[in-house]
Amino acid sequence: MPELPEVEVVRQSLNKKIKQKKVKKVIIRNPNLRTKIPSNFKNFLENQKIIKVERFSKYLIIYLSNKGCCLLHLGMSGTVHIVTNLKKKNFTNTSFYNSPILPKKHNHVEIIFSNFKVVYNDPRRFGFFEIILDSESLKKRFSHLGPEPFQKKFNLDYIYSFFKNKKKNIKNFLLDQKFVSGIGNIYASEILFFSKINPIKEAGLLKKIECKKIIFFSKKVLLNATKKGGSSIKDFKNILGKKGSFQKDFKVYEREGLKCKTSNCGGIIEKKNISNRSTFFCNSCQKL
């Protein structure tokens, strides 16, 4: 599943291409995504100018000239393609998941501009579109989510009080979008490695210094991943011809059985399943 850095890469690609462009036509080839595409989706978007493309957590927010906006969540396998022609070797994918070029199947939504189109592809159909009418409705839509790691609210007072007397392990908290928005499985393992915290440690047992490390390294890891174009698990390029390269910097993720990269550590990377998610950690750096 795309995590915050990968969704941010999509946002940057989209914003650069469609900002201040007018939607000419919308084609819905299959409305049956995770939730059904709203019946007024086509009329809501057509003839509107795109003001900008923003992001919160793993959601893309496309602001429109009618003061409303369109939300897009990529789900497990959703990708956004920008198509200017159909040459076989032309990279269309705005990020680094699945096909680097526009697939022939599972192209569910097309948003057409004057000389290009944006195509939403999703084989598993876990992604979805939503219509938001105004800023208050948008605020309400995200009210159940915790702050992003980059927001001021994600501070020591917030997380230390949130963790107080909690028995749940810290790995699960980092994946809990009600606690913090945007962190997924890959980056949770990396953040905990840099923080030198064992993923199964109870959150309520964390000291303030450990909470500070989580705040610092959440920002650092996600910013670094975004800077490097996200994590390309497969060797694909985006429409700018760039590859996500953060996977080359993985310290623990998918490194089971390998030596820890920390100087003079000597530890080995282990893998555990925590709540049915693969979790990687160093058996020396991250002792309980």
pLDDT at site 228? 76
Pairing relation of β-strands 50-56 and 59-64? antiparallel
The better pLDDT of the pair 124, 100 is held by 124
Confidence of residue 227 (pLDDT cuts 50, 70, 90): confident
Which helix (H) or strand (E) segment holds residue 52: the answer is strand 50-56
Architecture of domain 4-141: Alpha-Beta Barrel (3.20)
pLDDT in tens, 205-224: 999 999 999 999 999 999 98
- Mean of the per-residue pLDDT values of the chain: 91
Answer yes or no: 277 catalytic: yes
Asked if the 156-282 domain carries CATH number 1.10.8.50, the reply is yes
pLDDT in tens, 11-67: 999 999 999 999 999 999 999 999 999 999 999 999 999 999 999 999 999 999 999
The better pLDDT of the pair 165, 236 is held by 165
Distance (Å, rounded) from C-alpha 42 to C-alpha 28?
8
In the set 55, 58, 243, 255, the catalytic residue is 58
pTM > 0.75: yes
Residues 107 and 99 sit within 8 Å (Cβ to Cβ): no
Distance (Å, rounded) from C-alpha 151 to C-alpha 148?
5
pLDDT in tens, 144-163: 999 999 999 999 999 999 99
Question: Within the chain, which residue ranges are assigned CATH 3.20.190.10?
Answer: 4-141
Average pLDDT over residues 156-171: 96
Question: Within the chain, which residue ranges are assigned CATH 1.10.8.50?
Answer: 156-282
Residue 241: DSSP 8-state: S
Average pLDDT over residues 95-116: 89
Amino acid residing at 37: I
CA atoms within 13 A on the CB side of 133: 3
**pLDDT beyond 60 at 244:** no
* Closest CA relative to residue 93, chosen from 247, 248, 240, 246: 240
Please enumerate in sequence order all residues whose Cβ is within 8 A of that of 278, keeping only pairs 6 or more positions apart, or say none.
185, 271, 272
Answer yes or no: 2 catalytic: yes
In the set 2, 5, 147, 149, the catalytic residue is 2
In the set 19, 49, 166, 277, the catalytic residue is 277
pLDDT at site 87? 62
Percent of the chain past pLDDT 70, that is, above it, reads 91
**pLDDT beyond 50 at 269:** yes
Answer yes or no: 3 catalytic: yes
Q: What is the dihedral of CA 192, 198, 203, 204, to 10 degrees?
A: -140
Please report, for residues 14, 83, 91, 92, 99, the alpha-carbon distance to residue 87 in angstroms, rounded to integers and kept in the order given: 20, 10, 9, 10, 14
Both tokens of residue 86? 């159909």
